[in-house]
Structure 1
Amino acid sequence: MTVVGNWPDPDALTAAAERAGAEAASADATGCIGADVVEALTAAGFPTCFVPRRWGGAELSLDAVTRAVALVGEQNASAAWIASLLAYNGRFGAYLPIDGQKEIWAEGPETRLVSSMVAAGVTAEQVHGGWSLRGRWLYVSGVEFADWALVSSAPPREGDRSILVFAVHRDAFTHERSWSSIGMHGTGSHTLVVDEVFVPEYRTFVWDDMRQGVVPLPATHAQAAPLFSVNGLTFAAPILGAARYALRLAHQHLSAAVSGARAASRQSSRVAFTRAAGEIDAAELLLARVAATADAGPARDGLAERSHRDATLAVELLVEAVDRLFRVTGTRGQAASHGMQRVWRDVHAAASHAALQFEPAALAYTRALLNE
């Protein structure tokens, strides 16, 4: 298991990863990670990663969080997805006005935040002192154990200053079990429902400020990074960990003695394994540069667009690597009891996320490069 030496509590992180791994198969079967896994991820410090220090947060580097999420992903991709969102949703919370931040972190930095910008039939009416909000939001990973939710008034559009993000307490929302996907079963990415709730003005912020990295208070580089310079890390880090797990499974497969037809194909399997190992290493290097770029300071001269490009390209490399490793394990890897088929499903499901698509990232990169 990879060591994350600069994590505040390495032992708690290792324990959380191991706990998640022990329940990976059951999470896949039941459609949710266990409450004990959620508690272990919380105890490991994921919700506190990007919380402002004034509220007791850790204010960690993006590099440290990427490594920690990938560590959990080596054991359980769904748990790593939740760990990553617990961390990065805390970064979103830093865009609230000071009174809003004070409220959501009133009980400590371990507050579990979830989010969704996939608004479906939302009504946000301005009233005295705030907003009257109702609607539905799709794909809210971890909604079942959330303390607060950050939800948008409409699907975000670049430059649209009318689109707000609202912080809603768990007492004001419910959820419908709607998540049914080929993979990432344990994320529990269900539909969040608000019948009607008053949201005070101080619990709102403009989505486009988050896109640009305009934070209302003095902030770390990680907190103030433009959305698309770091958003790929949120979803790519669990895939990196899952790909490492697939590599480990393929290594075990190749280590077993074989004869007959399987022995004849052993050479090509070793070549495929080696190429996949290199692709995973290359993806890790790309993601490390994304994290290092944001940790270094404000993204200028197309660096945010380059980071978005790098993250999506890294995910393409990881998907290709897992596909190769899936073929290496052959029919055995397709068995319902084998971890390879689960990781193959998880990686393909995770890689379909909108933030990980190469084409829009490539077009944004070239627009920045050509000053269009």
Structure 2
Amino acid sequence: MLTAREDVGALPYGVRDVADGPDRLGPLLDAARRDARDAEDRRRLDGRVARAVVEAGFPRHFVPTRWGGAAGSFARLLADASAVAEACASTGWCAALYAAHGRLAAYLPEQGQRDLWADGPDVRVAASIVPAQGRASAVPGGWRLDGEWRTASGVDHAEWVLLASWTPGPEGVREHRVFAVPRADVAVRDSWDSVGLRGSGSNSVGADGVFAPAHRSFTLGTLLRPRPDAARCHRVPYPMVAGPIFAAPVLGAARAGLRAWSAEHAAGSPAQPGQALLLARASAGIHAAGLLLDGTAVRADRGDITPLAVAENRRDAATAAAMCREAVDELFHASGMRGQSPGSPVQRAWRDVTTAAGHGALGLDAAATAYAQAALADGGAR
């Protein structure tokens, strides 16, 4: 397994530098930056931005190569998602999740994958799979779905949706089962009005007797048992990479907040001692968060997949998000009345980082417990 020193040495300057591809990401960055404020008012991405996300390659990033996808690396995704989130946190969030959900859809049976990608890999997939919601009833040939699923980010622009419910399993043990359904088969309910990530359109999805064939379904436990003959990105267990994917937009939004705060103070008088200390501490914290995410990408892309490595990635992603949240919180509270303006970019970064870092996949307590258990079972932390 790679050590922390090897992780940092492999990617020395933070995930931003893995994906210095302005020609590739430039149109999306420009579109996201221009639409950021309107996306907040609209509470979803503009259609042109959603198309630019596709053109930048996010939905196809983890799609298997046999369907024309890239089966790409985690280092590339984390770098690209954080770069886009630096332009617009909501766009970066949706872009990262479109990629992540394409990876999850690759666990469908062969016919289910064909249903999604027979016409090409550029399919935007939204999801609401944790916690399990709604109701799934067994019917001949598959399942009937009813009820409501909350917070499906980017669902307004999705072609497919992954939904999860509890279903009866063998020996009376219930299973957390995931279903792929066409976006046209469900109703999107305008329910997203959050403090941050306002433009992500993380609305609710309603189903009334929607049929999901058996071949468009798999259990969440499948994500813990990757196929050994699959591409590397599909051999990594879900808990190892969920946290880093959610943390990447947090990092980008934090960098945006740091840049905005610095720009506001660069035009004024020289930094006072307290301001200098704040800037140094916040910038160091955000930089360190980027290095932690570098390490998670190295483990996921080419390290040994062990229980300890999985726990280390959970630990580092949750810690990176917490460091970004703490840094931006300090910057916002040091902005004075300027930060209270609705148009303040520092305030927007604070709201976005606070909301994104609060995602369950980035819970520090759960990550710490998992790490302690794995580290002690492996002979102790190091």
Q: What TM-score, normalized by structure 1, do the two folds share?
A: 0.92
Q: Tell me how far apart the structure 1 counterparts of residues 119 and 126 of structure 2 sit (CA, whole Å).
A: 17
1:118 and 1:61, CA in 2 relative to 1: closer, same or farther beyond 3 A?
closer
- In structure 1, the residue matched to 2:377 is 371
Give 2:102's aligned amino acid: G
- In structure 2, the residue matched to 1:338 is 344
Question: Secondary structure at 1:320's aligned position in 2?
Answer: helix
Shift, 1:128, TM fit = 2.1
Q: Is it true that 1:125 corresponds to 2:128 in the alignment?
A: no
Q: Tell me how far apart the structure 1 counterparts of residues 225 and 47 of structure 2 sit (CA, whole Å).
A: 33
Q: Tell me how far apart the structure 2 counterparts of residues 119 and 133 of structure 1 sit (CA, whole Å).
A: 16
The 10-residue stretch of structure 1 (123-132 or 274-283) with the greater mean CA deviation from structure 2: 123-132
Q: Is it true that 1:68 corresponds to 2:80 in the alignment?
A: yes
- In structure 1, the residue matched to 2:222 is 209
Q: Tell me how far apart the structure 2 counterparts of residues 239 and 33 of structure 1 sit (CA, whole Å).
A: 18
1:120 and 1:231, CA in 2 relative to 1: closer, same or farther beyond 3 A?
closer
Report if the CA contact (8 A) 1:221-1:298 is conserved.
no
Q: Tell me how far apart the structure 2 counterparts of residues 317 and 198 of structure 1 sit (CA, whole Å).
A: 44
What is the aligned residue count? Answer: 360
1:121 and 1:59, CA in 2 relative to 1: closer, same or farther beyond 3 A?
closer
Describe the superposition over 1:54-103 as per-residue Cα deviations: whole angstroms up to 9, x where unpaired.
Answer: 00001111001100001101110000000000110011011111111111
- In structure 1, the residue matched to 2:12 is none
Give 2:229's aligned amino acid: P
Gaps of 5+ in 2: 1-15, 168-172
Report if the CA contact (8 A) 1:161-1:206 is conserved.
no
- In structure 2, the residue matched to 1:116 is 128
Q: Is it true that 1:275 corresponds to 2:281 in the alignment?
A: yes
The 10-residue stretch of structure 1 (88-97 or 22-31) with the greater mean CA deviation from structure 2: 22-31
Question: Secondary structure at 1:81's aligned position in 2?
Answer: helix
- In structure 2, the residue matched to 1:188 is 201
Question: Secondary structure at 2:207's aligned position in 1?
Answer: strand
- In structure 2, the residue matched to 1:241 is 252
The counterpart of 1:317, out of the listed 323, 337, 347, is 323
1:347 and 1:5, CA in 2 relative to 1: closer, same or farther beyond 3 A?
closer
- In structure 2, the residue matched to 1:359 is 365
Gaps of 5+ in 1: none
The counterpart of 2:92, out of the listed 76, 80, 83, is 80
Give 2:217's aligned amino acid: T
The counterpart of 1:250, out of the listed 248, 261, 272, is 261
Spell out structure 1 runs of 4+ moving beyond 4 A: 2-7, 118-121
The counterpart of 2:55, out of the listed 33, 43, 57, is 43
Shift, 1:154, TM fit = 3.1
Describe the superposition over 1:271-305 as per-residue Cα deviations: whole angstroms up to 9, x where unpaired.
Answer: 10011111011100111111110101552141101
Report if the CA contact (8 A) 1:273-1:324 is conserved.
no
Q: Tell me how far apart the structure 1 counterparts of residues 320 and 377 of structure 2 sit (CA, whole Å).
A: 25
- In structure 2, the residue matched to 1:230 is 241
The 10-residue stretch of structure 1 (246-255 or 302-311) with the greater mean CA deviation from structure 2: 246-255
The counterpart of 1:152, out of the listed 151, 164, 188, is 164
Report if the CA contact (8 A) 1:47-1:112 is conserved.
yes
Q: Tell me how far apart the structure 1 counterparts of residues 321 and 67 of structure 2 sit (CA, whole Å).
A: 34
Fraction of identical pairs, as percent = 39
Shift, 1:18, TM fit = 1.6
Question: Secondary structure at 2:87's aligned position in 1?
Answer: coil
Q: Tell me how far apart the structure 2 counterparts of residues 149 and 82 of structure 1 sit (CA, whole Å).
A: 13
Q: Tell me how far apart the structure 1 counterparts of residues 275 and 230 of structure 2 sit (CA, whole Å).
A: 49
Q: Is it true that 1:97 corresponds to 2:103 in the alignment?
A: no
Q: Tell me how far apart the structure 2 counterparts of residues 316 and 119 of structure 1 sit (CA, whole Å).
A: 22
Report if the CA contact (8 A) 2:132-2:165 is conserved.
no
Give 1:299's aligned amino acid: I
Report if the CA contact (8 A) 2:126-2:161 is conserved.
yes
Shift, 1:4, TM fit = 5.0
Q: What TM-score, normalized by structure 2, do the two folds share?
A: 0.89
Report if the CA contact (8 A) 1:279-1:318 is conserved.
yes
Give 1:243's aligned amino acid: A
Give 1:345's aligned amino acid: R
Q: Tell me how far apart the structure 2 counterparts of residues 292 and 242 of structure 1 sit (CA, whole Å).
A: 22
- In structure 1, the residue matched to 2:151 is 139
Q: Tell me how far apart the structure 2 counterparts of residues 74 and 121 of structure 1 sit (CA, whole Å).
A: 32
Describe the superposition over 1:133-177 as per-residue Cα deviations: whole angstroms up to 9, x where unpaired.
Answer: 22211100011111111111139xxxx762211110122111111
Report if the CA contact (8 A) 1:75-1:245 is conserved.
yes
- Using CA pairs under 8 Å that are at least 6 residues apart, name the structure with larger relative contact order, 1 or 2: 2
